Amino acid sequence: MPFHEVLPAAIFYDKEILRGADGLNDIKSMVVDSTYVVENPAASGRYVLEAGTVMCKVVSSSKIRPAAASGEVAADIVGILGRIQEFWLGPGITAGSATDQPVNILHFNAHFNVSKLVMYSGNAAQVLLALPHCKFT
């Protein structure tokens, strides 16, 4: 007799963070350090990074993390998360190198819709310095 397993489900809609197809010919592949990913939405048990999240370097590592709401340094900003990414964390699954995820980062010649970006408003000046070849409107 087969087991019936019910998994939690949610629908996430990809939002269009770009105003055009520019910038899709130069995409970085990087790894997100899952220890920096917080529960999103809060108290849902899901750990999701939204497309359009500003991403930064992790000190003394080749991995990246989501930017703080403000106070980031331009030298640490690597680009913008290109698509939604979910991390399988929670009870019994601790964040660590086994739960880190590869992601695509837009960083060159892209035209971003700033109303769709996450953690952008508090770091706008630094993002503009870090990504001089991108447009933000």
pLDDT recorded at residue 115: 96
Domain assignment present for residue 24? The answer is: no
Instruction: Give the model's confidence band at 13: pLDDT under 50 very low, under 70 low, under 90 confident, else very high.
Output: low
Domain of residue 97: give its range: 29-136
pLDDT tens-digit readout, 105-128: 999 999 999 999 999 999 999 999
Q: Structurally, how many domains does the chain consist of?
A: 1
Domain assignment present for residue 5? The answer is: no
What pTM was computed for the model? 0.88
95-99 contact pairs (CB < 8 A, 24+): 95/34, 95/35, 95/37, 96/34, 96/35, 99/34
Higher pLDDT, 134 or 41: 134
- The amino acid present at 135, given as its one-letter code, is K
Domain assignment present for residue 38? The answer is: yes
CATH of the domain at 88: 2.40.300.10
pLDDT tens-digit readout, 49-72: 999 999 999 999 999 999 999 999
Q: What is the DSSP letter of 50?
A: P
Domain assignment present for residue 16? The answer is: no
Check if the beta carbon of residue 90 is closer than 8 Å to that of residue 38.
Answer: no
pLDDT recorded at residue 87: 92
Domain assignment present for residue 21? The answer is: no
pLDDT recorded at residue 11: 63
Domain assignment present for residue 1? The answer is: no
Domain assignment present for residue 73? The answer is: yes
pLDDT recorded at residue 53: 97
CA distance 134 to 12: 26
Domain assignment present for residue 131? The answer is: yes
